[in-house]
A = this chain, B = another copy of it.
């Protein structure tokens, strides 16, 4: 159903047809369709979706639209919606609301839901605790397959949360049983016979990126989250892990391009002012840092007054240095993010980058040296450029690989040590190297 069809049906008040069409829609697609509507129509259509599905659709909608709905809805209506949502989705929504609205809303909802939400709200943002859901299947060793299946039937929560069941004794997580095991074994087999005590789990305070990387590494559907005493408090499912991986990668990429991205809104939905705000800080810092390079150049005024050709190689040297530095920093930042590189690899990395820098710089120096010799018939100029290139590339690669590692060690995000910052640092180095060598070779 397109927006046009929906609007026509709305005008003709064909509510029954709309309701029927909406009921076959996937919640994700429904949220996408609703995005195109204005606040009033949004509320009208949203109220036509059946309660369970509406809660799911709400979870997929963006903040602006949720706000529009909440403004129209009564407190009771909103509370009812929150009740129908899974606790982790409700928390995601509440985290973006003003504190007084949250308090007010929580007063209107079920005690059960409220306490679950309150508990989740306590965990630091971006921790395993804040991304987990508190709905999971808790089994005991002495239960039979039949009893386990009956329990699942009774609780009947989201399907991705029932495919791994957790064997718990006095709140302590003792093992896991997969839904597949329950499906293929006889009713009388006990959980103790089926369970395995070899499982991956995370702690409530673990960073969400670490949690997501565990999913990536082990290909799991869900991971149990335990507290400091080994008691299970929730589970994280793979779909939330995929969201975190996407978010974290986008955040890294934005940081690597000198942008702060505080919100999770999409490009088109972010306002021009917010876009400008996200970009201006680093641009200012980098612009003023780049004037250092400029100041250094003025020290060599005499050099390029004598040999004006020297100036024309500045862009090539600066760009090549910057590119070499970004290559190294990108490899290291990504390696650290996916957990492939560690601080203990520093020496290996430096040695590898040094050798790569030698190979690459000699190739670049040779190609450019020959070009300059042919074009300007100046062996001296060819030597100056070749030598500057080799030194610049080596410095660039060293700076490029070491800064992200150093940032990680200082508990900063390695992603800020990317192309823009590296380029500015390498620029200064390359200009100093270049004019030093030129001064020596041309005896200026």
Residues in B neighbouring A266, C-beta threshold 8 A: 335, 340
Which positions 166-184 of chain A face chain B at CB distance < 8 Å?
178-180, 182-184
* A200 in the interface (beta carbon within 8 A): yes
Say whether A326 contacts B359, CB under 8 Å.
no
Most interface-central of A149, A335, A359 (chain B CB within 10 A)? A359
Say whether B276 contacts A360, CB under 8 Å.
yes
Residues in B neighbouring A431, C-beta threshold 8 A: 315
Say whether A298 contacts B308, CB under 8 Å.
yes
User: Which of chain B's residues has its CB closest to A362's CB?
Assistant: B276
Chain A: interface residue total (CB-CB under 8 A):
111
The stretch from A68-76, A105-113, A127-135, A284-292 touching chain B is A284-292
A324 is contacted by which of B179, B283, B312, B331 (Cβ under 8 Å)? B283
A311 is contacted by which of B311, B338, B367 (Cβ under 8 Å)? B311
Residues in B neighbouring A249, C-beta threshold 8 A: 249
Contact mask for chain A residues 233-262; partner B; CB cutoff 8 A; 1 contact, 0 none: 000001101110110011001101111000
Residues in B neighbouring A287, C-beta threshold 8 A: 316, 319-320, 364, 367-368
* A330 in the interface (beta carbon within 8 A): yes
The stretch from A6-14, A79-87, A117-125, A216-224 touching chain B is A216-224
Contact mask for chain A residues 46-65; partner B; CB cutoff 8 A; 1 contact, 0 none: 00000000000000000000
A341 is contacted by which of B221, B267, B326 (Cβ under 8 Å)? B267
User: Which of chain B's residues has its CB closest to A214's CB?
Assistant: B28
Residues in B neighbouring A5, C-beta threshold 8 A: none
Residues in B neighbouring A341, C-beta threshold 8 A: 267-268
Say whether A345 contacts B268, CB under 8 Å.
yes
A238 vs B431: C-alpha distance when bound (angstroms): 50
Q: If the complex has contacts A238-B238, A338-B250, are A180 and B159 also in contact, measured as CB distance less than 8 A?
A: yes
User: Which of chain B's residues has its CB closest to A430's CB?
Assistant: B315
User: Which of chain B's residues has its CB closest to A427's CB?
Assistant: B315
A284 is contacted by which of B273, B301, B356, B367 (Cβ under 8 Å)? B367
Say whether A218 contacts B316, CB under 8 Å.
no
A3 vs B398: C-alpha distance when bound (angstroms): 31
Residues in B neighbouring A340, C-beta threshold 8 A: 266-268
A352 is contacted by which of B246, B268, B309 (Cβ under 8 Å)? B268
Residues in B neighbouring A308, C-beta threshold 8 A: 298, 301, 304-305
A331 is contacted by which of B267, B294, B363 (Cβ under 8 Å)? B267
Residues in B neighbouring A216, C-beta threshold 8 A: 242-243, 246
* A17 in the interface (beta carbon within 8 A): no
User: Which of chain B's residues has its CB closest to A302's CB?
Assistant: B308
A312 vs B305: C-alpha distance when bound (angstroms): 13
Say whether A183 contacts B149, CB under 8 Å.
yes
- Using CB atoms and an 8 Å cutoff, list the residues of chain A in contact with chain B: 24-26, 28, 149, 152-153, 156, 159-160, 162-163, 178-180, 182-184, 198, 200, 215-221, 238-239, 241-243, 245-246, 249-250, 253-254, 256-259, 266-268, 272-273, 275-276, 279-280, 282-284, 286-288, 290-291, 293-295, 297-298, 301, 304-305, 308-309, 311-316, 318-320, 322-324, 326-327, 329-332, 334-335, 338, 340-341, 345, 348-349, 352, 355-356, 359-360, 363-364, 367-368, 371, 419-420, 423-424, 427, 431
List 29 A-B residue pairs with CB atoms under 8 Å apart, sorted by A's residue number: A24-B198, A26-B218, A28-B217, A159-B179, A215-B242, A216-B246, A241-B242, A249-B249, A253-B334, A254-B331, A254-B334, A257-B330, A259-B327, A259-B331, A267-B332, A267-B340, A267-B341, A268-B345, A275-B352, A276-B363, A279-B324, A279-B356, A280-B359, A283-B327, A283-B360, A291-B371, A297-B315, A311-B314, A322-B420
